[in-house]
């Protein structure tokens, strides 16, 4: 069983999600729990093993979109917190730069802190479910 701290897992998740998972990846070695990072051109870190594409030895961490933590989460938040603004948020997401404009919109509605809390809870819940499905044991905050 792989053992990781939640902070290690979260850092790897953010790396893998940096560009929606298109050009970045975080892979966990199944026998040691060591995390390896690949970026832009697909090349791994200098000290990374050559067999990172072997799914029997390495688990690719899901990115934000794999866990439905992108637009799906935005609209779940809108439905739960500001349902009267659903159409306006829908219009925001039909244009480029939607997340920036969405956060600006939330700032004007004094709902940005609520969004960040909602997003954090959903991310933690999804990552913990992913860990349970892949037999990854998470260490508690104090390391036990």
| pLDDT of res. 143 | 47
Give domain status of residue 11, yes or no: yes
pLDDT tens, residue by residue, 2-17: 889 999 999 999 998 8
Average pLDDT, the chain: 88
- Specify the pLDDT at position 123: 93
The answer to the question of residue 129 being in a domain is: no
Determine the Cα–Cα distance for residues 35 and 48; give it in Å rounded to an integer.
9
User: What φ, ψ does residue 111 adopt, rounded to 5°?
Assistant: -120, 10
Q: How many domains does the chain have?
A: 1
Please report which confidence band the pLDDT of residue 54 belongs to, taking 50, 70 and 90 as the band edges: confident
pLDDT digits (tens, 9 = 90+) for 20-34: 657 788 999 988 889
Residue 92 covered by a domain: no
Average pLDDT over residues 107-126: 96
Answer whether 0.85 is exceeded by the pTM.
no
Question: Residue 14 falls within a domain, yes or no?
Answer: yes
pLDDT of 52: 84
Domain carrying residue 37: 2-64
Average pLDDT over residues 98-126: 96
For residues 35-61, average pLDDT? 80
Does 51 reside within a domain?
yes
Residue 137 inside a domain? The answer is no
The string of DSSP codes covering 75-134 is HHHHHHH-GGGHHHHHHHTTSTTHHHHHHHHHHHTT-HHHHHHHHHHHHHHHHHHHHHHT
pLDDT computed for residue 95 by the predictor: 93
**pLDDT tens by residue, 62-94:** 888 888 888 999 999 999 999 999 999 999 999
132 contacts 1 by C-beta, under 8 angstroms? no
Residue 26: inside a domain? yes
């Amino acid at each position: 069983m792989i053992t990781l701290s939640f902070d290690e897992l979260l850092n790897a998740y953010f790396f893998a999600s940096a560009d929606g998972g298109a050009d970045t990846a975080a892979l966990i070695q199944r026998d040691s729990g060591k995390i390896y990072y690949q970026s832009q051109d697909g090349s791994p870190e200098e000290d990374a093993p050559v067999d990172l594409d072997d799914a029997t030895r390495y688990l690719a961490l899901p990115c934000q979109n794999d866990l439905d933590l992108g637009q799906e989460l935005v609209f779940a938040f809108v439905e739960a917190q500001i349902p009267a603004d659903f159409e306006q948020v829908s219009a925001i997401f039909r244009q480029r730069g939607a997340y920036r404009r969405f956060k600006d919109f939330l700032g004007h509605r004094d709902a940005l802190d609520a969004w960040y809390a909602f997003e954090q809870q959903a991310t933690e819940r999804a990552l913990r479910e992913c860990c349970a499905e892949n037999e990854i044991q998470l260490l508690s905050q104090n390391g036990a």
